[in-house]
Chain A
């Protein structure tokens, strides 16, 4: 999948809000997602389409109902590319430091 599509999809407050709502309550229909939002149903459908294109939302059919699920895999890949590989060695240094310091007898 294309990182550009992921960043573009995330660069919009309404789309991030939709992802937040799916994070809180996964597997919602278009109707569920529209509830309590000031956006029109058409606008929500369009945003969901962009999120789906970027693979940030996965859809599954439950009978005639199309349900939307947040798909964290592309965000995880971005996180590993720019954060994980720096963060993990740092965490290891910290835990090694803790072990080393705690081994030393206190004065």
Chain B
């Protein structure tokens, strides 16, 4: 049995703006608790998340990328041995335009029962997505820092 979570948020923006917000540092630092992503955004490329303090949070590979619609990432935690031991997870970003808004679906799963990794990311995603929505719709985030 796999462990998985699916998050959906509707954001009043365009697919291009949302894509930029998901991939570029000047945006991610504002809503992803100061983190930024490093990659050249091509299929097969390496990918990593650098936290505010410079530590590498997660690493992996872009399995599929189709801007501004879809991105599939092979994703492993790096800084917590217990989570790293669970190996790679799969995170899929889907962007679908619906009228004047975009539906962003993030599904994150790992082939493991009661995964600690999925439990850990499931605490982070809702806050990151709420911040992302606020940033794109109002230019501000509600909770800029990680509690």
Contact = CB atoms under 8 A, between A and B. Distances in A.
Contacts of A58: 6-8, 105
B49 interface: no
B147 A91 contact: yes
A26 B3 CA distance: 8
Contacts of B125: 73
Interface string B94-124: 0000000000010100000000000000100
Given A77-B133, A80-B130, A85-B142, A72 B7 contact: yes
A7 to B, nearest CB: 17
A72 B143 CA distance: 16
B28 interface: no
Interface residues of A, number: 19
29 contacts: A1-B9, A26-B4, A27-B4, A27-B6, A55-B8, A55-B9, A55-B10, A58-B6, A58-B7, A58-B8, A60-B6, A69-B4, A69-B5, A69-B107, A71-B6, A71-B8, A72-B7, A72-B126, A73-B7, A73-B126, A73-B129, A75-B126, A76-B126, A76-B130, A77-B133, A80-B142, A80-B143, A81-B142, A85-B142
Given A27-B6, A73-B125, A76-B127, 18 more contacts: A26-B3, A26-B4, A26-B5, A55-B9, A55-B10, A58-B105, A69-B4, A69-B5, A71-B6, A72-B122, A73-B130, A77-B130, A77-B133, A80-B130, A81-B142, A84-B142, A85-B143, A88-B147
